[in-house]
Every structure is written in C-alpha cells, then in structure tokens.
Amino acid sequence: RGCKLVGCGSAVPSLHISNDDLSKIVDTNDEWISVRTGIRNRRILSRNESLTSLGTEAAKKALEMAKVDPDDVDLVLLCTSTPEDLFGGAPQIQKALGCKSNPLAYDITAACSGFVLGLVSAACHIRGGGFQNVLVIGADALSRYVDWTDRGSCILFGDAAGAVLVQACDIEEDGLFSFDLHSDGEGQRHLQANLKENKKDHELDTNGSLHGLLPKGSSYSCIEMNGKEVFRFAVRMVPQSIELALKKAGLTGSNIDWLLLHQANQRIIDAVATRLEVPSERVISNLANYGNTSAASIPLALDEAVRSGKVQTGHTIAAAGFGAGLTWGSAIIRW
Ligand code: ACO
C-alpha cells in the first residue's frame, strides 16, 4: 500500500501584530527584525479563538479539498506542543469535526518538527496499520508561552494551524518517497519551556501527611532560547537531513520542484537552499506574514502555495522541520 496527499487547509487568528506594534512593547524596530529574520507580521490568538478552533478550521478545509466526509476519517493526528488540554487536543478536534465513526485521535509533540513527524506517522499507519484517511494537523499557539519582555525571542513567533489529508492508495501512486528523522536531547537547553515546579508543594511531609498530594496545578515557564545556537544547529543539520532523504529517494536538490522548510528565519531558509543548490524561485516562504508558527508553519505554507497555484499536482517537495527537543527531520513528498 502507498499513501498520498489529497487535500490541505489552514487557518490563522484574526489579530495582526506588526514589527512596529512590537517596537511599542520591547526595544526593537522593524528594520532589525526584517533584516535579521525576514519577519514583518504575525497573527496571535485572541480570547474568543482557540487552538482547537483553528485546527478544526484547517482540517475542514483539507477535507473539503479532498472531497472526503469527516465520517470517513479513521485517524486524526494533532501535531502540537501547545494543546489546550494537558492530555491532548486531537480528540477535541475529532469531536468538533463531527466524525461519527469515533476515529482514533492523538497528539504528537515535537515542536517545529511535529508536522514532518506527523506526516511520516500517517504513512506508517496507512502502510502498516490498514488506515485509509489520516488527517495530519500542525497547530501551535506559542504566543501563550512567549516572554513578551524578551526581544530576542518574542519577535519570532506567531499562532496558526495547517492540515493535510493523507489517503491510502496503490503503491505506484505513493506520495512519500523517503524520510529522515532525528533528535538530540543534549541540545534541549538551547530551546526550552520547562514545567514550573514548586518542589515544596510536592514533598510529603515527615508525618506522612497527604499535604504534598493536594492538587496544586502547574504550568510551563516561558520559552527560553539561545537563538545563535538554534541557528547554528538548523543551518548544520537540516541540509544534511534533506540530503540523506533525497539520496534515499534517488534525487538531488536539482530534481525537486520545491524546498519547503519550517519557517523560522529567512536567513536559515536561504542558507539551507544555498547549500542544497536550490535557486530562490523554488523555495517556498511565507515567513514575512506569519513568523514562526511552529508545527503549523509547513502545512500553512504548503496550503498557500497549493491554493495560489504554485505547487501543482505531481510536484516533488523536499520538506524539513527543526526545532526544540532538539528534533529535526525531512520528508520528500509528491503533491
Ligand atoms: N531588536 C533589536 N536588537 C535585538 C533584538 C531585537 N528584537 N534581539 C536581539 N537584539 C540585539 C542583541 O541584544 C544583540 O545586541 P549586542 O550586540 O549589543 O549584544 C544584537 O542584537 C545581536 O543579537 P544576536 O542574538 O546575536 O542576533 P542574531 O543575529 O543571532 O539574531 C535571532 C537573533 C533572530 C533570534 C537568530 O539567532 C535566530 O533566528 N535564531 C534561530 C531561532 C529559531 O529559529 N528558534 C525557533 C526554532 S523552532 C522551535 O522549535 C520553536
């Protein structure tokens, strides 16, 4: 059995935040942000919006494009690091879509690599598990974990959701040629949002009282990032990963129609494209409008490129995600 991508969709919050808006809350300016990152605008969730509603909207659009009924979906994978329920957000999207067949739905947490991992997981479920229609949704709201006083990181992130429908097909039509996935927990310190813990609350006192077991609730601290290290990691590891995946597929950078990287920084995108000898007109980028939307960035950029007619049926795309974990990986796909 093979699997192919048959639909895509995306959704972004209505609230725009420009570089000039940010310059009113931190010591920065449009020129610095544009030159160093390529970002000009981002969208941020407001009170009446949620990750679930964005993910659902993106998924509905993917199903419409694929002309597949929600009842025919048998797996929903939500790639996110920012679910609204600690236990996972995928079942809420499954419910909101109104899938009456109660398909399996679960989350994949791998930060900005989440969507590529989700795509590969969908293929494995279809090839080995007999699944027919798998929704892969990349959705994140990192704005909820951004330190809005840290000018080194708050300028980068935005919120969004993107989705694709992956469908079983004959092996001749297979749309996932190869992939290459990695992680390195050693590098976690360069990009993290750790659990805030008051150790005292969690200790049982010496009398054996249940004090320590009283519900306290916890939350995560803001994103802490060593931008330079993350930049170096991405520029070093991403081209290697894409080259490996291309080699497995019997391709080179000159054979692909599009390079579609996680949208983190235009200088990272340009450096990877140069290393792979992919000319800029074959590089997909919408970073200027949305910033770094984590697991949503690849399906959001794919959806815009498909709907604008840039990416057409039969085109080969080298997609790569990278980010916290550290995690990184690539997939060579056919649209
Ligand atoms: N506005 C103005 N000045 C700034 C700003 C800002 N927003 N941010 C930093 N500066 C200053 C610094 O204080 C520093 O000043 P100094 O020279 O007086 O000390 C100077 O600008 C240079 O700072 P650097 O941190 O060296 O700037 P750099 O060129 O490395 O750019 C950036 C920083 C944009 C964060 C870059 O390192 C980057 O994009 N890294 C990758 C980050 C990334 O992609 N993270 C997400 C990964 S995906 C995920 O999983 C979430």
Amino acid (one-letter) located at 14: S
- Start-to-end Cα distance in the chain: 17
Nearest protein Cα to ligand 1, atom 9:
152
- Residue 131 CA to ligand 1 center (angstroms) comes to 43
> Are 6 and 66 a contacting pair, CB within 8 Å?
yes
Spatial separation of the C-alpha atoms in residues 302 and 288, rounded to whole Å: 15
Q: Is the pLDDT of residue 200 over 80?
A: no
Residues above pLDDT 90, as percent of the chain:
89
Three-state secondary structure call for residue 17: strand
The DSSP secondary structure of 209-241, one letter per residue, reads -GGGGS----EEPPPEE-HHHHHHHHHHHHHHH
> Are 302 and 285 a contacting pair, CB within 8 Å?
no
pLDDT at 205: 53
> Are 323 and 191 a contacting pair, CB within 8 Å?
yes
Q: Identify the DSSP state of 310.
A: S
Look up residue 314 and give its two tokens: 């039969």
pLDDT at 216: 65
pLDDT at 21: 96
pLDDT band at 219 (very low <50, low <70, confident <90, very high): confident
- Residue 291 CA to ligand 1 center (angstroms) comes to 14
Spatial separation of the C-alpha atoms in residues 52 and 76, rounded to whole Å: 13
pLDDT at 210: 57
Nearest protein Cα to ligand 1, atom 20:
152
Q: Is the CB of 151 under 6 A from ligand 1?
A: yes
- Residue 297 CA to ligand 1 center (angstroms) comes to 20
Torsion of CA 306, 293, 280, 238, to 10 degrees: -110
Q: Is the CB of 298 under 6 A from ligand 1?
A: no
- Residue 212 CA to ligand 1 center (angstroms) comes to 41
Residues serving a catalytic function are 112, 262, 292
> Are 153 and 147 a contacting pair, CB within 8 Å?
yes
pLDDT tens digit string along 137-182?
A: 999 999 999 999 999 999 999 999 999 999 999 999 999 999 999 9
Q: Is the CB of 36 under 6 A from ligand 1?
A: yes
Q: Is the CB of 112 under 6 A from ligand 1?
A: yes
pLDDT at 101: 87
Q: Is the CB of 330 under 6 A from ligand 1?
A: no
Ligand 1 test: best mutation among 25, 34, 36, 144, most atoms within 8 Å of CB? 36
- CA 142 to ligand 1: nearest atom: 51
Q: How many helical (H) and strand (E) elements, i.e. helices and strands, does the chain have? A: 10, 15
pLDDT at 129: 86
> Are 302 and 263 a contacting pair, CB within 8 Å?
no
Average pLDDT over residues 187-214: 69
Instruction: Measure Cα distances from 269 to 20, 184, 264 in Å.
Output: 24, 21, 8
> Are 280 and 253 a contacting pair, CB within 8 Å?
no
Nearest protein Cα to ligand 1, atom 23:
152
pLDDT tens digit string along 248-284?
A: 999 998 889 999 999 999 999 999 999 999 999 999 9
Spatial separation of the C-alpha atoms in residues 212 and 199, rounded to whole Å: 9
ipTM attached to this prediction? 0.93
Q: Is the pLDDT of residue 212 over 80?
A: no
| This model's pTM is above 0.90 | yes
Q: Identify the DSSP state of 113.
A: G
Instruction: Measure Cα distances from 304 to 66, 114, 299 in Å.
Output: 16, 19, 9
> Are 259 and 281 a contacting pair, CB within 8 Å?
no
Average pLDDT over residues 316-333: 97
CA 43 to chain CA centroid, nearest Å: 15
- Residue 26 CA to ligand 1 center (angstroms) comes to 13
Three-state secondary structure call for residue 188: helix
Look up residue 321 and give its two tokens: 């995600």
Mean pLDDT of all residues belonging to the chain? 94
